[in-house]
Chain A
Amino acid sequence: MNAVIFPIIIPLLTAIILVLVPGGARVQRWISFIGSLAMTTAAVLLFAQTQQQGILVLQAGGWPAPFGITLVADLFASMLVVATGIVGVAVTSSAFAGVDPLSEASGYHVLIQVLLMGVSGAFLAGDLFNLYVWVEVMLVASFVLMAFHRTRAQIEAAFKYVTLNLIASSLFLTALGLLYGGTGTLNMADLARHFRHHQTGTFELILAVLFFTAFGIKAALFPLFFWLPASYHTLPAGVGALFAGLLTKVGVYALLRLFTLFFQHAPPELYRLFLIQAACTMIVGLIGALGQRDFRRVLSFNLVGHLGYTTVGLGLMTQSAIAASILYMFHHIFVITNLYLISGIFLRLRRSTHFTALGAIYRDYPWVAVISMIPLFSLAGVPPLSGFIGKLALVRATFGAGAWFTGAVVLAVGVLTLISMARLWDESFWKPGSERDTSAMSRVMLLPIAGLSVITLAFTVAAGPLFDLTLRASQQLLNPEQYMNAVLKVAQLR
Chain B
Amino acid sequence: MELILAITAGTLYGAGCYLILRRRLAQLIIGLGLMSNGTNLLIFTAGGLTRAHAPIIPEGRTAITGAFADPVPQALVLTAIVIGFGVLAFSLVLAHRVHVMTGSDDIDQMGKEQE
Contact = CB atoms under 8 A, between A and B. Distances in A.
B35 A170 contact: yes
Contacts of A159: 91, 94-95, 98, 110
B39 interface: yes
Contact of B91 (A152, A163, A173, A181): A163
B94 A177 contact: no
A177 B20 contact: no
Contact-residue size bin, chain B (C-beta under 8 Å from the other chain): 20 to 34
Contact-residue size bin, chain A (C-beta under 8 Å from the other chain): 20 to 34
A136 interface: yes
B83 A136 contact: yes
A153 B114 contact: yes
Which has the most chain B C-beta neighbours within 10 Å: A140, A163, A182? Answer: A163
Interface in A127-152: 129, 133, 136, 139-140, 143-144, 147, 152
B14 interface: no
Main SS class of interface, B: helix
B47 A147 contact: no
Contacts of B46: 177-178, 180-182
A155 B101 contact: yes
Given A166-B32, A180-B73, A158 B43 contact: no
A160 B42 CA distance: 26
A182 to B, nearest CB: 8
B79 interface: yes
A169 B43 CA distance: 14
Contact of A181 (B28, B47, B83, B97): B47
Nearest to B109: A156
A152 B76 contact: no
B102 interface: yes
Contacts of B44: 177
A155 B98 contact: yes
B87 interface: yes
A174 interface: yes
Nearest to A133: B79
Given A140-B87, A163-B32, A174 B39 contact: yes
Contacts of B95: 159
A147 B101 CA distance: 13
B32 A167 contact: yes
B36 A170 contact: yes
Nearest to B33: A166
B56 to A, nearest CB: 17
B58 interface: no
Contacts of A10: none
B48 interface: yes
B42 A178 contact: yes
Contacts of A129: 76, 79
Contacts of B90: 140, 143-144, 162
Given A133-B79, A177-B42, A166 B47 contact: no
A80 interface: no
Contacts of A184: 70
A158 B101 CA distance: 13
A26 to B, nearest CB: 30
A165 B86 CA distance: 14
Contacts of B98: 155-156, 159
A156 B25 CA distance: 12
B43 A173 contact: yes
B29 to A, nearest CB: 9
A188 interface: no
B39 to A, nearest CB: 5
Contact of B76 (A136, A167, A174, A180): A180
Contacts of A143: 87, 90, 94
A385 interface: no
Nearest to B37: A170
B72 A136 contact: no
B39 A140 contact: no
Contacts of B32: 163, 166-167, 170
Given A133-B79, A170-B36, A180-B76, A162 B91 contact: yes
A416 interface: no
A291 to B, nearest CB: 14
Which has the most chain B C-beta neighbours within 10 Å: A152, A156, A169? Answer: A156
Interface in B91-115: 91, 94-95, 97-98, 101-102, 110-111, 114
A155 B87 CA distance: 16
The 10 A-B residue pairs whose C-beta atoms are closest, nearest first, are: A181-B46, A177-B43, A177-B42, A173-B39, A177-B46, A156-B110, A152-B101, A170-B35, A136-B83, A170-B39
Interface of B: 20, 28, 32, 35-36, 39-40, 42-48, 70, 72-73, 76, 79-80, 83, 86-87, 90-91, 94-95, 97-98, 101-102, 110-111, 114
20 contacts: A136-B87, A143-B90, A143-B94, A152-B114, A155-B94, A155-B101, A156-B102, A162-B87, A163-B28, A167-B20, A167-B32, A167-B35, A170-B35, A170-B36, A174-B39, A177-B47, A177-B76, A180-B47, A180-B73, A181-B47
